Chain A
């Protein structure tokens, strides 16, 4: 009797849990679905009883995408975004790897001093204006570098990488040192070939950050032809006159909403394409960083 009751209770419990998860799934899906559907229906029906979630397929069209993609500003912005992404990830890894490696050497002379040097700016942030003045005083205004150089070393990423290096067997480095190898050679010949997962993880951390960053470009890139995708997207979203950014005329083209939705999805596309990779490596990297020791 007791057994029957218990399994019945378990069944109810599971039903509640699964219903909750299904509802949650819909909460995440519907907003994204809505954007997709609006982008696919350039001429919406005002009397649509389905609330625009299920427009009939014969109304679907790609004209919004075409109008967005065919405008020169899109190419320019994508090109700038790509440069920022590639330059940012390359420079960041180039700076973060040696720093993390040196910090991971246990008997490094002056290690406490070095840690302190890195920790002080992490703990105390003087705020937006001193950082802004620094970048502009260095003459970086209207240079794509201004977007990724100031944030090229993330203290958090450095520490995640450092804890990975610390986890590698010490004997590997010891034997190389006994053979007279210099630290730089140890790093390149021994450590880095073993570090592909962490390089990919940290590279993705930086990549997502630089791809999404809209604030640094806003601060430092005034020239229209230097603006990356997030800035173009923001201009389109808040614009009163779309003509500047996309092919648009009120009579023959797609609706404003449809155009905006299409640009949102295009800007998010690289993230969505890279998402399987991101999900795999990000989850691991986050846990390494958050609950070590």
Chain B
């Protein structure tokens, strides 16, 4: 009963590993993967010495870290607020509506963002105009585009990423809160000295998991949102690989860059899961 699943794995997970050899070749579609001529590390060298190398790495890391630094504290805040509120109706409503965007694709998000940000009649720009300001073409202005990326990701994933912290909050012993209340700690102090230390281990795991995939800066999001005017601030490794490989047929160079990312990504993933295992004794896999 393993035959068919393993066949799928062989075809779609292991054949690509074999095809990855074109990173070290000059791939010629007519010759095929195997018969194309070897080229050594020339494509890697081309990439490392090119002017876009630094820009791609910088943009990729910028978006990853910005989303991490904005997203994790926001999700913790939401989880704590949901746990502290005494209104069940409010809790349920906010939870329900904040999970919705997680299930919408980035294409739908593009539509929503256009209705909000378009300089002609987007809601945000109408508000800016009403306040006497000049409309901003957010999606095509290099100084505004990174903000759109970071905050649209926050909007989309905030509710969903709070779930794990809410589960962690449920695991805190209520006796601790009672004891602190008896000792005279107010709500804010209880949050600061019991809740936050209580979920610290889970926060560590979440951060480490995110660090393990730090080179994935959100390909689908940027692919859908970016355009030529913002290329300099938008282009990440994945979007560049797509353009070079699929649009410009530079298969070998694009594969080399993808392979470079894959190797670093694997090292980071192994390191982060090692650390997680050491921290709380449970394995990621």
Chain B interface residue number, banded: 35 or more
> Would you call A89 an interface residue if the criterion is a C-beta within 8 Å of the partner chain's C-beta atoms?
no
Choose among B22, B99, B123 the residue with the greatest number of A CB atoms under 10 Å from its CB. Answer: B123
Tell whether A233 pairs with B111 under 8 Å between CB atoms, given A125-B265, A126-B258, A127-B262: yes
Given A149-B12, A260-B111, the answer on whether A52 and B123 have CB atoms closer than 8 Å is yes
A24, B96: Cα distance in complex, Å: 12
A133/B114 in contact, CB under 8 A: no
Nearest CB of chain A from residue B41's CB, rounded to whole Å: 16
Write out the residue numbers on chain B whose beta carbons fall within 8 Å of the beta carbon of A38: 115
Q: B82 — which chain A residues lie within 8 A by C-beta?
A: 21
Interface check A208, CB cutoff 8 A = yes
- Pick the contact of A13 from B84, B91, B163 — CB < 8 Å? B84
Given known pairs A22-B90, A153-B8, the reply for A31 and B111 (CB within 8 Å) is no
Indicate which residue in A44, A150, A264, A291 contacts B164 across the interface (CB closer than 8 Å). A291
Check A126/B19 contact, CB under 8 A, given A119-B285, A233-B108, A261-B111. yes
- Provide the bound-state CA to CA distance between A51 and B126, in Å: 6
A258 to chain B: closest residue by CB = B115
Residues in A with CB closer than 8 Å to B8 are 95, 149, 152-153
Beta-carbon contact of A98 and B5 below 8 Å? yes
B17 in contact with A126 (CB, 8 Å): yes
B-side contacts of A114, CB under 8 Å? 2
Q: Do the beta carbons of A127 and B98 come within 8 Å of each other? A: no
State how many angstroms separate the Cβ of B38 from the closest Cβ of chain A. Answer: 17
B234–chain A nearest beta-carbon distance, Å: 15
Q: CB-CB contacts of A91-103 with B at 8 A, as 1s and 0s? A: 0001110110110
- Interface check A124, CB cutoff 8 A: yes
Whether B262 contacts A214 by the Cβ 8 Å rule is no
A17 touching B123 by the CB < 8 A rule? no
Q: Which residue of B lies closest to A14 (CB)?
A: B86
Cβ 8 A contact of A272, one of B100, B110, B245, B282:
B100
B123 A53 Cβ-Cβ under 8 A: yes
CB distance from A246 to the nearest CB of B (A): 14
Given contacts A13-B84, A124-B263, A219-B246, contact A153 B258 (CB under 8 A): no
| Cα distance A125–B212 in the bound complex, in angstroms | 13
Q: Is the CB of A129 within 8 A of B245?
A: yes
Q: A17-B85, A118-B9 are in contact. Are A230 and B187 (CB under 8 A)?
A: no
Across the interface, which residues of A come within 8 angstroms of B33, CB to CB? 133, 137
Give 3 nearest A-B pairs by CB, closest first: A127-B258, A264-B111, A212-B105
A selection of 18 A-B contacts at a CB cut-off of 8 Å is A14-B86, A17-B84, A31-B155, A34-B123, A102-B2, A117-B6, A123-B266, A123-B270, A127-B257, A130-B19, A151-B12, A264-B108, A264-B111, A264-B115, A275-B100, A278-B103, A279-B96, A279-B99
| B interface residue numbers (CB < 8 A to A) | 1-2, 4-6, 8-9, 11-17, 19-20, 22, 33, 78, 81-82, 84-87, 90-91, 93-94, 96-101, 103-108, 110-112, 114-116, 118, 121, 123, 126-127, 130, 155, 159-160, 163-164, 167-168, 184, 186-188, 202, 220, 223-224, 238, 241-242, 245-246, 251, 254-255, 257-259, 261-263, 265-266, 269-270, 282-283, 285
